[in-house]
Amino acid sequence: MPDMFPGPLGMSLAGEALRRGLWHLALKDIRDHGIGRHRAVDDTPAGGGPGMVIRADVLAAALDSSIAPEDPRPRLLMSPRGRRFTQAEARRLAAGPGVILVCGRFEGIDERVIEARGLEEVSIGDYVLSGGEPAAQVVLDAVIRLIPGVMGGAGSDLEESHEQGLLEYPHYTRPRAWEGRTIPEILLSGNHAEIARWRRAEAERITRERRPDLPGPDRAAKKPGRDA
């Protein structure tokens, strides 16, 4: 559904970067390779059951018409069966030559084209969307903001949640008192070493409480390729 793009990626940070030429988007409608007068891209599932399945020949024709066999870009198929998309993968993609994202629809895609064209299945989480386009936009958003020049403040992204196996510390800004709640004194002390220590401790506390499954700072540091 090419009309869904750039969608939210045409606005704000990603949209500004798009206009500045820091990334670009080439859309492909697989219906251009559909079969017959109605340009059908799907058919009923072999073996029966609900829904429709995207045809291997149609998707392969769409891929082959726009991608050379030696194209170095990873080919990711958006799929709830896939490996979980992570910040580590966003970093790898941002450093790479680009990415080809295939968006599914209907019940799914003929398994043979996934195998024959080397599509890697990637999931954005354990829930089912009606199509791959919003998932592709999630992947692209996470990658685009890591492209050099897209975000101001060099290095600010390294402190963020999931960058060091930790969730981020809490943020505060003016006013100093709001509805009887004050900003933690330490943040107003001007003591940068103390502030850094406090933030680190808060990040560790929040990670322990909310996401004990995350690697945490020590293990993340020892195993940088953990999500590879």
Contact positions vs ligand SAH (CB under 6 A):
78-81, 103-105, 107-108, 123-125, 127-132, 135
Cβ nearer to ligand SAH, comparing 53 with 166: 53
Cβ nearer to ligand SAH, comparing 54 with 203: 54
The least CB distance from residue 123 to ligand SAH, in Å, is: 4
The least CB distance from residue 40 to ligand SAH, in Å, is: 17
Q: Residue 144's closest CA among 44, 4, 1, 24?
A: 24
**Using omega within 30 degrees of 0 as the cis cutoff, is the peptide bond preceding 45 cis?**
no
The least CB distance from residue 47 to ligand SAH, in Å, is: 14
CA–CA separation, 90 vs 81, rounded Å?
Answer: 18
Residue with tokens 């799907």: 42
Cβ nearer to ligand SAH, comparing 79 with 207: 79
Cβ nearer to ligand SAH, comparing 123 with 164: 123
The least CB distance from residue 124 to ligand SAH, in Å, is: 4
CA distances from 114 to 11, 49, 133, 214 (A): 32, 20, 18, 31
Side-chain-side CA neighbours of residue 24 (13 Å): 3
Residue with tokens 């170095």: 72
DSSP label at 148?
Answer: T
Cβ nearer to ligand SAH, comparing 80 with 217: 80
Q: At what angle do helices 87-95 and 133-144 cross, to 10 degrees?
A: 70
Residue nearest to ligand SAH (CB): 104
Contact 132, 79 (CB under 8 A): yes
Cβ nearer to ligand SAH, comparing 51 with 170: 51
CA–CA separation, 182 vs 20, rounded Å?
Answer: 41
The least CB distance from residue 136 to ligand SAH, in Å, is: 8
The least CB distance from residue 121 to ligand SAH, in Å, is: 8
User: Phi then psi for 94, rounded to 5 degrees?
Assistant: -65, -30
